[in-house]
């Protein structure tokens, strides 16, 4: 991890900028390779993440790891984070104030890593980053916004309640892997503005 990312990590761990700091066990900074071409962004830490202080280490994390491997990504080579770094009580969705307050950390992560593409996991991250209400229309597609390329897929936790989505996230990440290959080779890709 780079010195700059390590500094963000330390700021997150000691952060008390919003009330989620009062109920968390551990803040959960992003984790992974600072040199990555792709960042995966989820909603917020869950119970296991809160206990361990690491993102995507519970059941949803296992599903994500499986899908990454299926698609040809190596988990240690990419970077995974959330729009909100502390667990909301009872896994409720983070509210707008919490998302806005925590956004400074995600912005720093994006500025430092400067990924070629950002993979949005699920509706909450989609709503926060692209102001969308539901991912259905743009799932599996690339969207360009503010000079960033985004790819949209389901949140791995959704598979716990809807097992049919397991193959959907696997196929989406495979599509993302192919898109990233094209971007790196300078080949044209289809972009939805
Ligand atoms: S959720 Fe974000 S802003 Fe709120 S305390 Fe945790 S790190 Fe700080």
Please write the tens of the pLDDT for every residue from 19-62: 999 999 999 999 999 999 999 999 999 999 999 999 999 999 99
R_g (Cα) of the chain, nearest Å: 16
Q: Which residues line ligand 1 (CB under 6 A)?
A: 12, 15-18, 20-21, 27, 84-86, 98, 101-102
Q: Do the beta carbons of residue 106 and residue 120 sit within 8 Å?
A: no
What pLDDT is stored for residue 7 in this prediction? Answer: 97
What angle do helix axes 3-13 and 96-113 make, rounded to 10 degrees? 160
Q: How many residues does the chain have?
A: 193
Using DSSP's 3-state secondary structure scheme, residue 175 falls into helix
- Share above pLDDT 70 across residues of the chain, in percent, rounded to a whole number: 99
CB of 140 within 8 A of CB of 153?
yes
Token pair listed for 84: 């909100």
Helix ranges (DSSP H) in the chain? 3-13, 20-23, 47-52, 59-71, 96-113, 123-130, 158-161, 165-185
Using alpha carbons only, what angle is made at residue 165 by residues 161 and 168, rounded to the nearest 5 degrees?
Answer: 165
Options 3.30.465.10, 3.40.718.10, 3.40.50.300, 3.40.470.10; CATH for 3-185 is: 3.40.470.10
Average pLDDT over residues 151-179: 96
Q: How far is residue 56's CA from residue 14's CA, in Å, rounded to a whole number?
A: 20
Q: How far apart are CA 1 and CA 62, in angstroms?
A: 22
Residue owning the nearest CA to atom 2 of ligand 1: 102
The pLDDT confidence band at residue 1, using thresholds 50, 70 and 90, is low
Q: How far is the CA of 35 from the centre of ligand 1 (A)?
A: 25
CA of 130 to the centre of ligand 1 (A): 21
CA of 104, closest atom in ligand 1: 3
The per-residue pLDDT of the chain, averaged, comes to 96
| Mutation pick for ligand 1 pocket among 101, 103, 124 (CB with most ligand atoms within 8 Å) | 101
pLDDT the model gives residue 8: 98
Longest distance between any two alpha carbons in the chain, whole Å: 48
Gap from CA of 192 to ligand 1 centroid (Å): 32
């Amino acid at each position: 991890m780079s010195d700059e990312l390590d500094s963000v990590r330390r700021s997150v761990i000691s952060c008390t900028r919003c009330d989620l700091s009062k109920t968390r066990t551990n803040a959960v900074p992003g984790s992974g390779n600072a040199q990555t071409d792709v960042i995966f962004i989820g909603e917020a830490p869950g119970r296991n993440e809160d206990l361990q202080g690491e993102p995507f280490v519970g059941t949803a994390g296992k599903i994500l790891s499986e899908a990454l491997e299926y698609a040809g990504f190596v988990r240690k080579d990419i970077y995974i984070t959330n729009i909100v770094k502390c667990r909301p009580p009872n896994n409720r969705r983070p509210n707008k104030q919490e998302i806005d307050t925590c956004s400074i950390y995600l912005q720093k992560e994006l500025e430092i890593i400067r990924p070629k593409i950002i993979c949005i996991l699920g509706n909450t991250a989609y709503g926060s980053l692209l102001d969308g209400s539901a991912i259905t229309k743009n799932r599996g597609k690339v969207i360009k916004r503010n000079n960033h390329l985004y790819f949209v897929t389901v949140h791995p936790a959704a598979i716990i309640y809807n097992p049919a989505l397991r193959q959907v996230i696997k196929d989406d990440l495979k599509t993302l892997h192919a898109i990233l290959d094209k971007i790196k080779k300078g080949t044209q890709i289809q972009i939805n503005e």
